[in-house]
């Protein structure tokens, strides 16, 4: 039982990442009708925003010490980050919190990348068949991936967790169970709440703002909305930017869990596509639900008890679920009737 709870928790934070990427993917599909294979690359670029931010923060001034010598006889190099020099202790705090702080960098960068991508390339593909959309965004994903590789190399770039969130939280003890039974890394807990928060923010934005209302109206009937004199294209472009931000911040916060390298996007892409399809193309709640569900299902399947019964199930469970859903209920868990149902 404890093991099951632990695995569910494990699945939830992975599911959080799936849900956030799938949410963005669905936003793009629901508004623009474009199948965006480059969305995984946006997740990856977000992760590298965190890497860049930390690199900038930890730029160091190197001073050769005049008195001390290093073990091999040369003058000792004293390295102090500029941030520490300028801001003192506050600078150290900045460096410590580099990962969450890089969200501040990621938001404008991702918005810009998203809008440039939409206006520059994807705009031309609204009316083309889905196959061509897949192909052009697939090509774009390769390009983005290779650009990142050219700058950051092919090795993973591990990012540290802020001191406060190091270690594990004893969740079991908190709810009155025995101690040290259900412990869970604090950062993963942060990630889970973060992803829930972002999901809530996106839904609130669509539900409670005028902008969101117009976008929802445009999603259900684009032509009528534009006939009412609203520039729906512009709003959809901004929604693409928002989808990029969601993917980007999801990537930023995921860096301490999985050191990002340039293939990160492709690794997540296939899985999130399956999440979107399972949730139902074009359904936002479906994407979130399917994201968390598949995350949990995946980690439950990797329990040894399950693997003993069906060997190898943990490797393929997500694909298996996708196949079954597609065959039995092609519009997905929460998909609308008639939206890409055949």
Smallest separation (angstroms) from another protein to the CB of 136: 4
Residue 83 φ/ψ, nearest 5 degrees: -60, -40
Q: Does 113 bind another protein (CB under 8 A)?
A: no
Smallest separation (angstroms) from another protein to the CB of 202: 24
Q: What angle do CA 247, 257, 8 make, to 5 degrees?
A: 90
Q: Does 340 bind another protein (CB under 8 A)?
A: yes
Q: Does 76 bind another protein (CB under 8 A)?
A: no
Q: How many CA atoms lie within 13 A of 225 on its CB side?
A: 19
What tokens does 29 get? Answer: 């599909």
Smallest separation (angstroms) from another protein to the CB of 171: 31
Smallest separation (angstroms) from another protein to the CB of 253: 26
Q: Which stretch binds another protein (CB under 8 A): 79-87, 102-110, 159-167, 268-276?
A: 268-276
Q: Does 116 bind another protein (CB under 8 A)?
A: no
The continuous run of DSSP H or E covering 65 comes out as strand 60-69
- Nearer to another protein (CB atom), residue 6 or residue 41: 41
Smallest separation (angstroms) from another protein to the CB of 306: 13
Q: Does 74 bind another protein (CB under 8 A)?
A: no
- Nearer to another protein (CB atom), residue 34 or residue 101: 34
Considering only 266, 303, 333, 334, the residue that binds another protein (CB under 8 A) is 266
Distance, CA of 329 to CA of 74 (rounded, Å): 70
Q: Between the CA of residue 123 and those of 104, 112, 118, 136, what are the distances in Å? A: 27, 15, 6, 12
Considering only 8, 76, 135, 171, the residue that binds another protein (CB under 8 A) is 135
Distance, CA of 321 to CA of 342 (rounded, Å): 18
Q: Does 323 bind another protein (CB under 8 A)?
A: yes
Distance, CA of 83 to CA of 94 (rounded, Å): 8
Q: Which stretch binds another protein (CB under 8 A): 83-91, 110-118, 229-237, 326-334?
A: 326-334
- Nearer to another protein (CB atom), residue 1 or residue 154: 154
Q: Does 19 bind another protein (CB under 8 A)?
A: no
Kindly tell me the number of DSSP H helices and DSSP E strands found in the chain: 15, 4
- Nearer to another protein (CB atom), residue 306 or residue 340: 340
The Cβ of residue 227 has, within 10 Å, a number of other Cβ atoms equal to: 10
The DSSP result for 150-219, as a single string, is HHH-SS----PPPGGG-SEEEHHHHTTS-TTSSEEEHHHHHHHHHHHHHHHHHHHHHHHSHHHHHHHHHH
Q: Does 342 bind another protein (CB under 8 A)?
A: yes
Q: Does 130 bind another protein (CB under 8 A)?
A: yes
The continuous run of DSSP H or E covering 80 comes out as strand 75-81
Cβ contact 278:25 at 8 Å: no
Judged by the rule CB under 8 A, the positions of this chain that interact with another protein are 35, 121, 124-125, 128, 130-132, 134-136, 138-143, 145-147, 149-150, 154, 266, 270, 273-274, 277, 281, 311-312, 315-316, 319-320, 322-323, 326-327, 330, 340, 342
């Amino acid at each position: 039982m404890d093991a099951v709870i632990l695995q569910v928790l494990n699945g939830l934070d992975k599911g959080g990442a799936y849900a956030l990427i799938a949410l963005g993917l669905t936003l793009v599909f629901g508004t623009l009708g474009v199948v965006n294979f480059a969305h995984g690359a946006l997740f990856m670029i977000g992760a590298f925003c965190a890497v860049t931010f930390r690199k900038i923060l930890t730029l160091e001034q190197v001073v050769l010490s005049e008195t001390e010598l290093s073990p091999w006889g040369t003058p000792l190099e004293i390295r102090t980050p500029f941030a520490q020099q300028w801001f003192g202790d506050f600078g150290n705090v900045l460096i410590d919190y580099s990962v969450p702080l890089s969200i501040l960098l990621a938001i404008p960068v991702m918005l810009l990348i998203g809008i440039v991508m939409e206006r520059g390339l994807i705009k031309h593909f609204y009316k083309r068949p889905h196959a061509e959309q897949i192909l052009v965004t697939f090509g774009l994903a390769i390009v983005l991936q290779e650009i990142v590789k050219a700058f950051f190399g092919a090795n993973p770039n591990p990012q540290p967790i802020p001191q406060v969130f190091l270690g594990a939280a004893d969740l079991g003890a908190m709810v009155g169970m025995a101690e040290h039974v259900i412990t869970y890394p604090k950062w993963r807990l942060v990630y889970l709440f973060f992803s829930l928060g972002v999901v809530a923010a996106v839904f609130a934005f669509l539900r409670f703002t005028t902008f969101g209302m117009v976008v929802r109206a445009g999603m259900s009937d684009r032509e009528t909305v534009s006939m009412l004199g609203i520039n729906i294209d512009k709003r959809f472009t901004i929604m693409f930017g928002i989808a990029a931000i969601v993917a980007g911040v999801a990537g930023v916060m995921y860096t301490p869990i999985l050191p990002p390298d340039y293939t990160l996007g492709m690794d997540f892409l296939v899985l999130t596509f399956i999440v979107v399809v399972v949730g139902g193309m074009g359904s936002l709640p479906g994407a979130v639900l399917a994201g968390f569900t598949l995350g949990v299902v995946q980690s439950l399947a990797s329990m040894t008890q399950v693997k003993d019964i069906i060997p190898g199930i943990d490797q393929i469970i997500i694909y298996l679920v996708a196949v079954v859903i597609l065959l039995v209920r092609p519009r997905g868990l929460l998909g609308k009737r008639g939206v890409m149902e055949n």
